[in-house]
Amino acid sequence: MSETKTATGGGPSRREFLKAAGFTFAGALVGGCQRAPEQEAIPPLSQPEDIVAGRPSYYASTCDACRAGCGMLVKSYDGRPIKLEGNPEHPLSRGGLCAAGQAALLGLYDRLRLQHPSREGQENSWEEIDRDIRDRLHDLRGRGGLRVLTGTVTSPTIQASVTRFLKHMRENGDFADAKHVAYDPLSCSAILDAHERTGGSRVLPRYHLDRAEVIAGFDADFLGTWLSPVEFTHAYRVGRPLTGDPPRSSYHVQVESRLSLTGSKADERVCVAPEEMRAVLARLAVAVARQAGAPLDAADELSPSLAGFCDRLALRLWQARGHSLVLCGSQDVPTQVVCNFINHRLENYGATLDIDRPSLQRQGSDRDLATLLHDLDAGKIAALFILDSNPVYDLPDGEGLARALRQVPLVVCCAERLDETARLARYVCPHPHYLESWGDAEAVSGVIGLRQPTIPRLGETRPVIESLAAWAGAPKPAYDLLREHWKDHVLPRQARERDFEAFWDRSVHDGYAEVDPDPDRVRPKDFNLAKAQAALQAPAAADRGQTLVLYSKVGMPDGSHAYNPWLQELPDPISKVTWDNYACLSPDAAAQLGLGDGDVVRVEVRDGALELPVRVQPGQHDRVVAVALGYGSIVSERFAGIGPPWLEARPTVGENGLVGQNAAALLAWEGGTLRYARAVEKLTKTGKKHPLALTQTYDTLTLPAHLAPPGQERRPLVQEIGLSRLARKPAAPPHEDKPADLWPNDHPCPEHRWGMVIDLNACTGCSACVIACQAENNVPVVGRDEVRRHREMHWLRIDRYYSGAGAAVEVAHQPMLCQHCERAPCETVCPVLATVHSDEGLNEQVYNRCVGTRYCANNCPYKVRRFNWFAYAHEDKLQNLALNPDVTVRSRGVMEKCTFCVQRLQEAKIEARLRGEHLHDGEVQTACQQSCPARAIVFGDLNDRASQVARLRDDPRHYHTLAELNIGPAVGYLKVVRNRPDDGEGQRHD
């Protein structure tokens, strides 16, 4: 819309026109030249080994998005990582990688990641910063305590460095009480404390869900966010194979106050108020003890129905003793002690719970943290080193903590981003992204993951271990520090390799090393029954008011991911909300207050309040208000401008300029631990509105009552079958593969016919596939307003349907992607043949032929086609490095959709042809399939009768969604199986 001379009426003369044209042309030339810096266009004189331009390399590494320590493979193109995938050989994660883990790639290419060390906000050199810090430490000697505050440290090398640093400070720096304090933003301190009471050592057991035949979860969202979801999801899946005669499946009971992802998969789900949890566990303990023949007496104030449930569960657990597992997510130590007692009585220790090789995924101690906060308030701390954590954001009373931190003479913060805490630190020492540096992680005792750099550092950052070594006066590169530690402490813990170099090379290649547990660890003692008895006697809370429950979302494990646009736009698998946190209320509770989705409610607790939009959430206890943590972080400021700018666009951030609100302010200290549940003082309607960005607005398969044709109230899109019925059913021949058709098949697939089968029973809805697809296929992020307008771009979505009502709701997850129909409705209607069928059974979208009539999307019964409403590609040169070079970045006005990862198919076919072989089954995996922790997605060649996908098509559980349309979808589903003791014909979706 530039002003030209024509507007003034004169019109440009010929000379002026030529001049303008010349400048434009020259400008275009100059602009074009800037894109490729010449110095990097010269190929290296000697090609680096194994690096072929245009061919990806995979490096084994270990994920650092949370402390679960999953193994991963970094797919790297021309020296830049473009995708993170699960490492199939890793003993914990077994090939899965969660949504947050995969999305961490964007962190590497984050424009706003800290690039330089700084002092009081001014960029500075490392030498000067180090000198300064050492001088300050020298000045401060004897003036107070020194603390190193971290999250859980799973890295043995960092742990050793911290220990060395503290030792140096104690011995040479006159900080006699120099100490390391670890805390977790999502604390599990109570479990460790309870084991300290009952077993004498502060450990977190490693849970083996695969060995458990009966699993009882108590507010532990182990498939979603608790401790190590990928590991647990895989193990859970292993425990439900549905093979054998009768088909085998673990029995899973979930007792919880809000609807978690884990609860959505349970065979039986019981909704109780948070304060009842201890009473339920106590009753269960009594019942189990009775089964064990050692009765206990304990106060019993449960309702008869809950008591009956506990007795039934106790019987199931007892029958499966040694093969059962009780998991509890409570932060109340006595409750955890009761849980330990139950597991002890059920002889699960050593079987399904391992405390000899414990989990190291949570080591934080709320007690230590509380002491530190107290010391800070009292001004006893002279120097505080905060390593890779953000206590000002994570902890309640962040403002108070900020005030206290300003009084501390020396605050050094090693951070990746300028978060709430780093803003207060005098010295900010950025550490590199874990894809740029060496590192290790021992998430579970005996499995040590290794990290290797996959790209040169993008800024002047320095690993934490190097910084600690420098401040301790012995600077050394991280690589050397790591190798030294491994040589001295890891190599001796195994017997397979004698030679360190061989051991090291193998570990780097594998990405992990399996070794013996750390010999220095305190051994657990015998179970202390007396403590458990005492816990049973502890009076239960008798609160009957509303309870605020703070939880973490699958897509936003904690605030450290708030910078990540993929995760912000990932729909929560249960609530289907993106870009916000909100107050979940049960339908009855919401109706009582006259609230609906998007009405803003004020949640007041004793020492704080938040105003949040409401999301009406079935399956939640009526007296619970659930709010997600991890939002309202200062790093989400960046999203103020995300999304296409146009006349009616609304901002992605809220009134506070951030995405969502920080609910950590409402956490409470109680009994020495951080509590995620507390009493609500007042819940008031504000009258304000904040429409939520939902990707699914209709939640059930049941049609609205006044619109449902009689007898057709429920659509059979997700089908269920009871375990006992599955056992009775003979392996039925597939009935829908040969539909009656008037016309001969006009799409012959002579060689391959690609197909997919998704096991809805295995699928937990964890959404790892959604992010995998987004990363693989360059799917753009569109921002909150666009999602609100139902224009999210995800090629793969997970449909979530409720059945039943109120607290007893049941949930089904159905991943939905292009079904690559044989007789695809989209293909016939395109006027320009932009969507066509390939001779391998793929429904292909030709982007550069598409003119954007959107007829194909209208005619798609699965509504999986996505349209580029705006030009979403943007010129962020750093972030665009994350784009997959094998996949086109789509322009404005064209349709797009799942391609079955056609780029991977082509690559695999080319590789096979080069080898002169046929493509073997399983050799090519789609992105969604690769990262699925539950192995729910199977992809392959349907023409190959021996392939896994072809065999699954003959499974009695196999069905096609909307088979009645006779369009021949290439994606099939396996029915959900519920393991119910009283299961008759209880398939609600059938």
Partner 1 sequence: MTEVYPPLRQPLVAGDKSLADVTQEVCAPLERRSTALWWLAFLAALSLLALGVAAVYYQVTTGIGTWGLNRSVGWAFDITNFVFWIGIGHAGTLISAILFLFRQRWRTAVNRSAEAMTIFAVTCAGLFPVIHMGRPWLFYWMLPIPNTRGPLWINFDSALTWDFFAITTYFLISLTFWYVGLLPDLATVRDRAKPGWRRRLLAFVSLGWNGSYRTWHRYETLYLLLAGLATPLVVSVHSIVSMDFATSMLPGWHTTIFPPYFVAGAIFSGMAMVLTLMLIARKVMHLQDYITVRHVDAMGKIVLATSCMVGLAYAIEMFSALLSPNPYEQFTFLNRAQGPLGWGYAIMVTCNVLLPQLLWLRRFRTNLAAVWVLSIFINVGMWFERFVIITTSLERDFLPSSWADYAPTSIELATLAGSFGLFFTCFLLFCRFLPMIAIAEIKGVLRIGREGPAVEPRDPASAEASALAGVSRLDGNQGVKP
Binding positions for partner 1, rule: CB under 8 A: 644, 646-648, 696-701, 703-704, 706-709, 712, 715, 717, 786, 789-792, 797, 799-801, 814, 816, 825, 828-833, 849-855, 857-859, 861-863, 865-871, 892-895, 961-962, 965, 967
Nearer to partner 1, 459 or 861 (CB): 861
**CB 848, min distance to partner 1, A:** 9
Pull the structure tokens for residue 536. Answer: 């049973």
Nearer to partner 1, 96 or 571 (CB): 571
Q: List alpha helices for 811-894, DSSP H.
A: 825-829, 855-859
In three-state secondary structure terms, 613 is strand
**CB 487, min distance to partner 1, A:** 55
Other C-beta atoms within 10 Å of 316: how many? 16
Nearer to partner 1, 862 or 959 (CB): 862
549 closest CA partner among 599, 617, 596? 617
Per-position b or e across 706-735, b if 16+ CB within 10 A of its CB: eeeeeeeebebbbbbbbbbbbeeeeeeeee
298 closest CA partner among 315, 280, 316? 280
Nearer to partner 1, 163 or 828 (CB): 828
**CB 861, min distance to partner 1, A:** 4
**CB 229, min distance to partner 1, A:** 24
Nearer to partner 1, 449 or 765 (CB): 765
Contact yes or no for 207/325 (Cβ under 8 A): yes
- Rounded (5°) CA angle 13-15-20: 95
Nearer to partner 1, 472 or 642 (CB): 642
Q: Rounded to an integer, what distance in angstroms lies between the CA atom of residue 100 and that of residue 565?
A: 11
Nearer to partner 1, 162 or 694 (CB): 694
Task: Output 845-853 pairs: Cβ under 8 A, ≥24 positions apart.
Answer: 845/895, 845/896, 845/897, 845/899, 847/888, 847/890, 847/891, 847/894, 847/896, 848/894, 850/893, 850/894, 850/895, 851/893, 852/893, 852/894, 852/895
**CB 704, min distance to partner 1, A:** 8
Other C-beta atoms within 10 Å of 881: how many? 16
**889: which residues sit within 8 A by CB, 6+ positions away?**
778, 873, 883
**CB 842, min distance to partner 1, A:** 18
**CB 831, min distance to partner 1, A:** 4
Pull the structure tokens for residue 869. Answer: 């409403």
**877: which residues sit within 8 A by CB, 6+ positions away?**
none
DSSP-derived pairing of the beta strands 835-837 and 976-978 = unpaired
Q: Rounded to an integer, what distance in angstroms lies between the CA atom of residue 116 and that of residue 127?
A: 12
272 closest CA partner among 287, 289, 284, 254? 254
Please give the single-letter amino acid code of residue 882: A
**CB 822, min distance to partner 1, A:** 14
CA distances from 602 to 390, 562, 611, 657 (A): 26, 23, 4, 19
Nearer to partner 1, 304 or 704 (CB): 704
Nearer to partner 1, 805 or 962 (CB): 962
Beta bridge partners, 604, equal 609, 682
Other C-beta atoms within 10 Å of 748: how many? 10
Pull the structure tokens for residue 702. Answer: 């049941």
**CB 258, min distance to partner 1, A:** 22
Look-up of token digits 């007792």: 255
Helix (H) or strand (E) holding 158: helix 156-172
What do you get for the CA distance between the two ends of the chain, in Å? 58
Other C-beta atoms within 10 Å of 219: how many? 26
**CB 833, min distance to partner 1, A:** 5
Nearer to partner 1, 854 or 980 (CB): 854
Nearer to partner 1, 298 or 824 (CB): 824
**CB 984, min distance to partner 1, A:** 25
Nearer to partner 1, 250 or 803 (CB): 803
Nearer to partner 1, 527 or 862 (CB): 862
**CB 698, min distance to partner 1, A:** 4
Contact yes or no for 204/195 (Cβ under 8 A): yes
928 closest CA partner among 689, 736, 758? 758
Pull the structure tokens for residue 704. Answer: 């609205």
**CB 6, min distance to partner 1, A:** 16
Q: What is the CA radius of gyration of the chain?
A: 29
**CB 254, min distance to partner 1, A:** 24
Nearer to partner 1, 438 or 801 (CB): 801
Q: List alpha helices for 760-880, DSSP H.
A: 768-776, 784-788, 825-829, 855-859
What DSSP character marks residue 556? B
Nearer to partner 1, 120 or 648 (CB): 648
**CB 952, min distance to partner 1, A:** 22
